[in-house]
Amino acid sequence: MNKKTVTNMASQIQVKFITTQEQYAIPDFPLSIDSKIECKSLNIIVNKILNDKLSEDNQDALNVDFDFLVNGELLRTPLDVHLSQKNEPNEKVVVIEYMEATPSPEPMDCLIHDDWVSAIHFKKSWIITGCYDNSVHIWTSKGKHKIGISGHTGPVKAIKWISVSDDSATFVSGSQDQSIRVWDWDIKKGTTNCLQIGRGHERSVECLSVSPDLTRFATGGWDTMLKIWSSDPNFKPADVPVKKQKSEAKIMPPIMTLPGHKENISAVQFINNSDLLTSSWDHTIKHWDGEIGGIKTEIVGNKSFFNHDYSELNGSIITCSSDRHIRLYDLRSKEGSLVKGTYSSHKQWVTTVKWSKTDQYHFVSGGYDNQMKLWDSRSSKVPLFELTGHEDKVMCSDWTNPQLILSGGADNTVRIFKNKNVKSV
């Protein structure tokens, strides 16, 4: 046996292909392949075996773009490099799981504003945005502007729909003017009315969240206080007079004010009708009981948290910080480090993160490097796609509608990308 033959044998590795997508299943017998193989060549092999099988069954040939999982992580390097990073021996049979690759999101509309877009939310077929020129705007999902709304006297930093029907809708906004406003929109008439004005914050309102049952919403901001409010315009706390302004909008007090953070609360989220999560510039994430007002648990990081998002699909939180990294925390973990993944690709501060509502592994991020990125949590160093278009820093995002990824930025635009991985909502 000559030296060349020995070298070739040493570079071979035994693999077995598996998949959970039955339509693409192939025989799972071991194969000997080059240990330095990459995804492109793996695709050729799997498609060849699959089409040989389809030909035997007199079915049409396919050409499918697959992704490959090895040891629970997406393959993004040559196979031998991936295995060496995981300290896996090359002698054993390596199990490679394959699945149809995620298609690239398609750029759709660009919604042009007069100033920075700092807040965005989608519900039913309507997009609502908050702007640095103190205004709120409502758009159709097709990008048509319906109405601009004034009332705040400072930049609108937070916006959320409460309810949307065929004839009317209600939404809530929070602003640097320290107020929260609950609005009614008569869709048929095209008019809006401010129902309530929330007073209580002593500095800018930076974030808000509506409870799943739509009965309450929570706000946080630069005064470090978490406040919980009723979304019922007729709600009146006991022994608290309800004032009115000249506009006839009621001045409402919060139901509850919860101290605990030491710096700006950058994000708040109801994870069910009673529990909330807040993240802060004080390097902590707090899990609150919104019924009795106590802190259940706390996660301590080493940087200011700018945003977070909790996924019901996987029980995990993704966070973004000033060190340009995105981190995944598993709330269900009972042992070891709560940090289960760190994702590094952004070149500047990451300001916004949002989980997919339909895929437990996918999330998006946006940052001061003008970039939106679509990630798979099983690939920590390389995002699936970069969603280009913004010409200035990304300030907010929304993925409420599984089909549409939305982002707003300091280039005065909202960019809409169609998620082709979801066939229907």
Number of domains in the chain: 2
Q: What is the CA radius of gyration of the chain?
A: 25
96/111 same-domain check:
no
Cα 391 to Cα 13: distance, rounded to the nearest angstrom: 46
Residues 6+ apart with CB under 8 A from 116: 131, 132, 155, 395, 408, 409, 410, 412
Note the pTM of the prediction, 2 decimals. 0.90
Which residue, of 100, 125, 144, is where some domain finishes?
100
Q: What is the residue-level pLDDT of the chain in tens, covering all 425 positions?
A: 343 433 344 588 999 999 999 999 998 889 999 999 999 999 999 999 999 888 887 788 889 999 999 999 999 999 999 998 877 666 689 999 999 999 999 999 999 999 999 999 999 999 999 999 999 999 999 999 999 999 999 999 999 999 999 999 999 999 999 999 999 999 999 999 999 999 999 999 999 999 999 999 999 999 999 999 998 877 666 555 545 545 557 899 999 999 999 999 999 999 999 999 999 999 999 999 999 989 999 999 989 999 999 999 999 999 999 899 999 998 776 655 688 999 999 999 999 999 999 999 999 999 999 999 999 999 998 999 999 999 999 999 999 999 999 999 999 999 999 998 876 54
236/298 same-domain check:
yes
Q: What secondary structure letter does DSSP report for 9?
A: H
14/151 same-domain check:
no
CB-CB contact of 231 with 216 (8 Å): yes
Which residue, of 67, 100, 133, is where some domain finishes?
100
The CB-based long-range contact list for 325-333 (8 Å cut-off, 24+ gap) reads 325/350, 326/350, 326/353, 326/365, 326/375, 327/301, 328/377, 329/285, 329/299, 331/287
**Which of 371, 369, 374 has its CA nearest to residue 343?**
374
Cα 349 to Cα 326: distance, rounded to the nearest angstrom: 10
Domain harbouring 72, CATH code: 3.10.20.90
pLDDT of the residue at 21: 94
List helix spans (H) across 63-216: 79-85
In a domain, 423, yes or no: no
β-bridge partners, 10:
none
Element (H, E) at 149: strand 145-149
Cα dist. 121→166, 171, 299 in Å?
18, 10, 27
Q: Please calculate the CA angle 218-166-136 and round it to the nearest 5 degrees.
A: 45
pLDDT of the residue at 3: 37
Cα dist. 249→183, 191, 214, 233, 242 in Å?
10, 15, 20, 9, 10
250/235 same-domain check:
yes
44/125 same-domain check:
no
76/145 same-domain check:
no
Q: Which residue has the tokens 């021996």?
A: 89
For 73, the 3-state DSSP assignment is strand
Q: Which residue has the tokens 């510039």?
A: 281
Domain span holding position 78? 3-100
138/70 same-domain check:
no
CB-CB contact of 413 with 364 (8 Å): no
196/237 same-domain check:
yes
pLDDT of the residue at 160: 98
166/295 same-domain check:
yes
In a domain, 425, yes or no: no
List helix spans (H) across 383-425: none
DSSP 251-266: EE--SEEE---SS-EE
pLDDT of the residue at 9: 46
Cα 201 to Cα 224: distance, rounded to the nearest angstrom: 9
Cα 114 to Cα 78: distance, rounded to the nearest angstrom: 47
Cα 405 to Cα 417: distance, rounded to the nearest angstrom: 5
Domain harbouring 220, CATH code: 2.130.10.10
CB-CB contact of 283 with 275 (8 Å): no
pLDDT of the residue at 278: 98
Which residue, of 49, 65, 100, is where some domain finishes?
100
Q: Which residue has the tokens 């046996």?
A: 1
Residues 6+ apart with CB under 8 A from 281: 263, 264, 266, 304, 305, 306
Tokens read off for 267: 């994000």
